[in-house]
Each structure stands twice: as structure tokens, then as C-alpha cells.
């Protein structure tokens, strides 16, 4: 009954009050997902041509780079023609951010500051219509998991957003999102117990979180013999979902886990449908390609709907395998067979809690002045090595901020050393690991 009211009354009222069109967009996206591949491609081409023209006419970076490369939006008659255009790197975005802002876009936008999956702090502008369109795309992806709009969501995530908005945020959460949260920044035994009690009481329609956190919860329930937590859907995101994790999660919750892939810079890139073979590209919002033109390699993503700060052929640091295979669900959206890159780890505190690498690197990269990139290596329970690629602004203050942040996060017994480096070494296969703990896997096992 509450789900029904939320879906048909509360959600539309909030959307109207906020002036957000995401529910209309969601209806459109539900309908068009079953269009045949050629229609989807035609729509992508039209969106691509429009964003290329907009970028060339109003964004200084692209006008200069494309002129220098001798390419023009009018040259693009097919999606493959995009291959002639230069690539945008994280360094471009970090050092020349202002040149990516559209001179013509005067509407509202949100600013997102992120360390991404490689520990490079970036600031992204996303225009309001683009934000609403992307939100609708994410809701559609949530529905592929079996969840329905209006049903409660349980989130396993660091730093829940609603807490930053005081009473208004809490009210919005209580009425609109009705989410139950487990904060993974401090994943203690006690917190996990409380969360399990909450999801048993609230019976969420969707369980949503980092792959490894979902696994830890599933494993805990399994050990306690609890088998009555039955969400309609489970969405796993932000890190690879390993088969052994998926197996435990699906066994304990009695439902399929839906793997999802995205990055902060463009939001949702692809997600599994109910068939769970490959991930459907969110083709209404992004166009993806592999840099080499082969099926496997570094991903280039083009945002089709952000006019405030267009991202065209952006190398986000992940590796993927694309496929031409058609999915048996009959959706016309193209498939990513597998996301190869991207890994997150956990760090263990001297008191035995686990802190997720994503949340941690985000904090270090965003809060410390003068860091171009950060890698955190935990050598021992009380010993951290911080590999930092410094920018010009790195100095005495940065070191002081680091000492304070380490103390606040891990307590007084954690030692740390700072290693200034020219670059963070890549793993074989081109992956970056922004957080490597030599002791957390054992601690995670002990927690079970």
C-alpha cells in the first residue's frame, strides 16, 4: 500500500515541486529500450551530431583541439566517424577544467567533485536537464533488477548524501526515497548487525551497493542462518562483482544480482538486464567505444546529454570488452560483454573496522591540497604508505592536512609515510589500483 502511494502520489508530487521531468523521461526510456538496434543507433548518431556541434560552437577546448586535428562535426555521418576526433584525458580535465565549460550554456547545473576510479580529483559540471535524463536512465536500470518505482531501497554506501541536507534531506529520504543506509566508510560488526535488523524490518524492494559490501552482508546472513531477507532486486556497482561474490549474494537473498557500471563523470554507462549476460549500454545518455577499435581495451565514453560541460571521447581509465551479440531480452541497446578494469579494496583500521577504498581515496584526493593523484597502500595494520603525484600546490600545508586526515580516520596509532612520485604505477592489463591493503583481506575474513 505504501509502495503504491509512493509510486503514484509522493513521487509525482515531489517531481512536480522540484520542476523535474525525470518521471516523464522514465516513461519514454521504458518505451524506447525495445526499439531495434538500428533505431537506437540512429538516435545516438543524431544526439552525437548535436552535442558535437554544440561543443565545437561553444566549448573552447574542443574548438581548439578539433581545429588543430583538422576535424569538424559536419564530418560525422556515422558513429564510426567519431574515431577521427582527439581523445580527452583526465589530465586535460584536471588542468584545463574551465576550457571544457560551454560558453553558451546559461541554465542551472550541478557540480560534482570526484576522485573517479583512479584517484585523480576532477570537477564536473552536469546541466540540470542532463541530470534529470540520467536519473531516469538509472531508474530504468534499477527496474531491470526487479525493483519497481515506489518500493523501498536499502543502500550499502559510504557517506549517504541525504545527511548533507539536514532536516530537509532526512524528510525527503523518509517520504520520497525511503532508503535504509549502511555507511561503508565505517563497516563495523555492530553497524552491519543494525543494518541487517533494519532490512529485515523494512523489507526493501532493492538492495543496492558496492559488490564487496553486498557480499560481506550476504556472507554474514548466511553464517547466521538468516534466509528471510528477500529484496525484489539487487544492484551491485562501483567495483567488479566477482563470480564467487555473486554466488553467495544470490544464494542468500534468493534473487539475481544485477551488475552495473558507471563513472562519476558521466553517471550510468551500462547495466545488466534480467538476462544477466553482459551489460546494456545506457545508449540514450552515452556512446562508448574501445580506443584501439578492437573489441577489448581502454574505454572512451562520449556523453550525449551534458551541454554544460560536454565530454567527448573521454578516456575514463577503465578497460572493457564490447560485443555485437544481441541479448535475448530483445532490447536494442548495445552490450558491453565485460568490464575488465576497476578495482577497489578495503583498508582495515587498528580497531578492526573496514573502510572502503573508494570512500577513502575520494577523501584524500578531494580534501588534500596539491594532490594530482593518490594511491593508498596499507603495508601493515598500523602502517600506511601514501603515494602522491603532487601538483604545484603541494606543500607544508598538504602534509599537515594528510596527518590530520590519517589521525581522524584511523586514530593515533596509525603511522603513515608520504611518497611523492611522478606517476602511480599501472597494474598489468592497464588497471590502476588506488587502494591496496596487504592486511584487509585477512581482516575481512575474520569479520565473517
Between the alpha carbon of residue 353 and those of residues 45, 185, 196, 212, 245, the distances in Å are: 48, 9, 17, 15, 20
Nearer Cβ to Zn ion, position 298 or 334? 334
Is 322 a binding residue for Zn ion by CB under 5 A? The answer is no
Task: Tell me which stretch binds Zn ion (CB under 5 A): 112-120, 270-278, 401-409, 410-418.
Answer: 270-278
Examine residue 288 and tell whether it contacts Zn ion (CB under 5 A): no
Least separation in angstroms between residue 233's CB and Zn ion is 15
Least distance (Å) between residue 276 CB and Zn ion: 9
Nearer to Zn ion, 191 or 276 (CB): 276
Contact range with Zn ion by CB under 5 A, out of 242-250, 287-295, 322-330, 348-356: 322-330
Cβ-based nearer residue to Zn ion, 29 or 440: 29
Residues 6+ apart with CB under 8 A from 342: 117, 239, 240, 261, 317, 318, 431
CB of 3 to Zn ion, least distance (A): 25
Backbone dihedral region of 7: left (phi > 0), alpha (psi from -120 to 50 degrees) or beta?
Answer: alpha
Q: How far is the CB of 205 from Zn ion (least distance, A)?
A: 21
- Segment contacting Zn ion by CB under 5 A, of 8-16, 146-154, 324-332, 342-350: 324-332
Q: Which is nearer to Zn ion, 31 or 106 (CB)?
A: 31
Ranges within 331-350 binding Zn ion (CB under 5 A): 331
Burial track 349-370 (b if 16+ CB lie within 10 A, e otherwise):
beeebbbbbbbbbbbbbeebeb
| CA pair distance 228, 223, nearest whole angstrom | 13
Decide: is 366 part of the binding site for Zn ion (CB under 5 A).
no
Residue 219's φ and ψ, nearest 5 degrees, are: -65, -40
Of 262 and 332, CB closest to Zn ion: 332
- 327 part of the interface to Zn ion, by CB under 5 A: yes
**Nearer to Zn ion by C-beta: 272 or 303?**
272
Cell numbers for 173 = 529520504
Part of the chain binding Zn ion (CB under 5 A), chosen from 101-109, 135-143, 207-215, 275-283:
275-283
Alpha carbon distance 275, 158 (integer Å): 29
Give whole-number Cα distances, 262 to 65, 208, 234, 268, 299, in Å: 26, 14, 16, 4, 12
Q: Which is nearer to Zn ion, 34 or 165 (CB)?
A: 34
Q: How far is the CB of 141 from Zn ion (least distance, A)?
A: 11
CB of 328: closest distance to Zn ion in angstroms? 7
**Which of 136/327 has CB closer to Zn ion?**
327
Task: Assess contact for 177 and 14: CB atoms under 8 A.
Answer: no
Looking at 45-53, 183-191, 273-281, 296-304, which segment touches Zn ion (CB under 5 A)? 273-281
> Given the complex with Zn ion, which of 273 and 358 has the nearer CB atom?
273
Three-state secondary structure call for residue 435: strand
Binding region for Zn ion (CB under 5 A) out of 52-60, 327-335, 341-349, 389-397: 327-335
Distance in Å, CB of 142 to Zn ion, minimum: 15
Which positions from 231 to 250 touch Zn ion by CB under 5 A, shown as an x/- string?
--------------------
Cα distance between residue 126 and residue 263, in whole Å:
13
* Cβ contacts of 291 within 8 Å, gap of 6 or more: 87, 297, 298, 299, 300, 315
* Residue pair 59/67 in contact by the 8 Å Cβ criterion: no
Work out the widest C-alpha separation in the chain, in whole angstroms.
Answer: 64
By the rule CB under 5 A, 29 interacts with Zn ion: no
- The residue range among 94-102, 294-302, 323-331, 413-421 that interacts with Zn ion, by the rule CB under 5 A, is 323-331
In total, the chain counts a number of residues equal to: 448
Q: State residue 261 phi and psi, 5-degree precision.
A: -135, 135
Instruction: Write down the least CB distance from residue 290 to Zn ion, Å.
Output: 20
Binds Zn ion (CB under 5 A): choice among 47, 120, 263, 273: 273
CB 280 to Zn ion: min, Å: 6
Helices (H), 275-373: 357-367
Assess 275 for contact with Zn ion (CB under 5 A).
yes
Report whether 424 contacts 372 (CB < 8 A): no
Q: Which residue has the cell 573489441?
A: 295
**CB-CB contact of 206 with 142 (8 Å):** yes
Measured from the CB atom, the residue of 252 and 273 that comes closer to Zn ion is 273
Whose Cβ is closer to Zn ion: residue 327's or residue 347's? 327
In whole angstroms, the minimum distance from the beta carbon of 275 to Zn ion comes to: 5
Number of residues that bind Zn ion (CB under 5 A): 5
329 counts as binding Zn ion under rule CB under 5 A: yes
Kindly give, in sequence order, each residue whose CB lies less than 8 Å from that of residue 376, ignoring residues fewer than 6 positions away: 347, 357, 360, 361, 364, 384, 385, 386, 387, 434, 435, 436
Q: Which residues bind Zn ion (CB under 5 A)?
A: 273, 275, 327, 329, 331
Amino acid at each position: 500500500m505504501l509502495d503504491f502511494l509512493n509510486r503514484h502520489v509522493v513521487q509525482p508530487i515531489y517531481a512536480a515541486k522540484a520542476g523535474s521531468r525525470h518521471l516523464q523521461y522514465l516513461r519514454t526510456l521504458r518505451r524506447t529500450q525495445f526499439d531495434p538496434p538500428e533505431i537506437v543507433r540512429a538516435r545516438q548518431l543524431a544526439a552525437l551530431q548535436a552535442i558535437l556541434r554544440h561543443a565545437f560552437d561553444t566549448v573552447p577546448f574542443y574548438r581548439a583541439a578539433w581545429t588543430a586535428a583538422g576535424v569538424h562535426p559536419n564530418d560525422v555521418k556515422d558513429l564510426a566517424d567519431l574515431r577521427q576526433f582527439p581523445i580527452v584525458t583526465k589530465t586535460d580535465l584536471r588542468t584545463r577544467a574551465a576550457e571544457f565549460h560551454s560558453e553558451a550554456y546559461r541554465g542551472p547545473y550541478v557540480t560534482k567533485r570526484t576522485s573517479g576510479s583512479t584517484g585523480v580529483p576532477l570537477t564536473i559540471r552536469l546541466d540540470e536537464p542532463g541530470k534529470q535524463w540520467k536519473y531516469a536512465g538509472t531508474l530504468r536500470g534499477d527496474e531491470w533488477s526487479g525493483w519497481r518505482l515506489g518500493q523501498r531501497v536499502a543502500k550499502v554506501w559510504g557517506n549517504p548524501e541525504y545527511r548533507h541536507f539536514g532536516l530537509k534531506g532526512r524528510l525527503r529520504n523518509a517520504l520520497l526515497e525511503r532508503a535504509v543506509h549502511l555507511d561503508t566508510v565505517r563497516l563495523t560488526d555492530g553497524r552491519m548487525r543494525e543494518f541487517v535488523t533494519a532490512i529485515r524490518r523494512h523489507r526493501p524492494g532493492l538492495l543496492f551497493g558496492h559488490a564487496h559490501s553486498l557480499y560481506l552482508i550476504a556472507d554474514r546472513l548466511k553464517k547466521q542462518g538468516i534466509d528471510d531477507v528477500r529484496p525484489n532486486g539487487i544492484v551491485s556497482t562501483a567495483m567488479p562483482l566477482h563470480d564467487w561474490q555473486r554466488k553467495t549474494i544470490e544464494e542468500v537473498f534468493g534473487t539475481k544480482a544485477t551488475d552495473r557500471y558507471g563513472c562519476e563523470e558521466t553517471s550510468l554507462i551500462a547495466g545488466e538486464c534480467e538476462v544477466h549476460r553482459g551489460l546494456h549500454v545506457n545508449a540514450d545518455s552515452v556512446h562508448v567505444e574501445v580506443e584501439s577499435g578492437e573489441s577489448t581495451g581502454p574505454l572512451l565514453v562520449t556523453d550525449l546529454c551534458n551541454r554544460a560541460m560536454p565530454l567527448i571521447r573521454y578516456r575514463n581509465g577503465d578497460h572493457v570488452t564490447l560485443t555485437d551479440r544481441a541479448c535475448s531480452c530483445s532490447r536494442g541497446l548495445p552490450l558491453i560483454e565485460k568490464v575488465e578494469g576497476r578495482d577497489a579494496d578495503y583498508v582495515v583500521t587498528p580497531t578492526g573496522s573496514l573502510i572502503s577504498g573508494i570512500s577513502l581515496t575520494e577523501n584524500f584526493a578531494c580534501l588534500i591540497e596539491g594532490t594530482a593523484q593518490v594511491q593508498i597502500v596499507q603495508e601493515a595494520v598500523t602502517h600506511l604508505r601514501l603515494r602522491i603525484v603532487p601538483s604545484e600546490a603541494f606543500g607544508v600545508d598538504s602534509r599537515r592536512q594528510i596527518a590530520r586526515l590519517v589521525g581522524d580516520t584511523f586514530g593515533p596509532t596509525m603511522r603513515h609515510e608520504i611518497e611523492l612520485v611522478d606517476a602511480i604505477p599501472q597494474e598489468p592489463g592497464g588497471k590502476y589500483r588506488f587502494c591496496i591493503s596487504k592486511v584487509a583481506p585477512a581482516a575481512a575474513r575474520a569479520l565473517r
